[in-house]
Amino acid sequence: MEASGKLWQAGQQDDWGRKQSDPDAEFIGWQETLNGEVIALYVVTTRKHILFRSTVTEQTLRANHLEVPPTPHPQGQLKRYDHER
């Protein structure tokens, strides 16, 4: 795996303070939007990244060159809010 154009070495950290085995984000759930679209939500876990602890979509992870973690199927896991019905 490469980070910042350098090869990883065991236990080495990249410029954002990540170790090779550290995930960039954690899946936190699914949300249904007003138009019925279902989106996966993640929280960024890379400490030195500007989005650290932010809730983001897969699109935002990819746009920021962060790895998308394993994501389960959304069936039965949707978050709905009364004001969205």
Q: Measure the CA angle with vertex 60, ends 63 and 25; round to 5°.
A: 105
Q: Quickly state the pLDDT bin for 12 (edges 50, 70, 90).
A: low
Q: Domain locations in the chain?
A: 27-85
Structure confidence at residue 72 (pLDDT)? 92
Structure confidence at residue 22 (pLDDT)? 81
Short-list 83, 71, 82, 3, CA closest to 38: 71
Task: Kindly report, residue by residue over 37-82, the tens digit of the pLDDT.
Answer: 999 999 999 999 999 999 999 999 999 999 999 999 887 666 665 5
Q: Quickly state the pLDDT bin for 5 (edges 50, 70, 90).
A: very low
Q: What's the predicted TM-score (pTM) here? A: 0.67
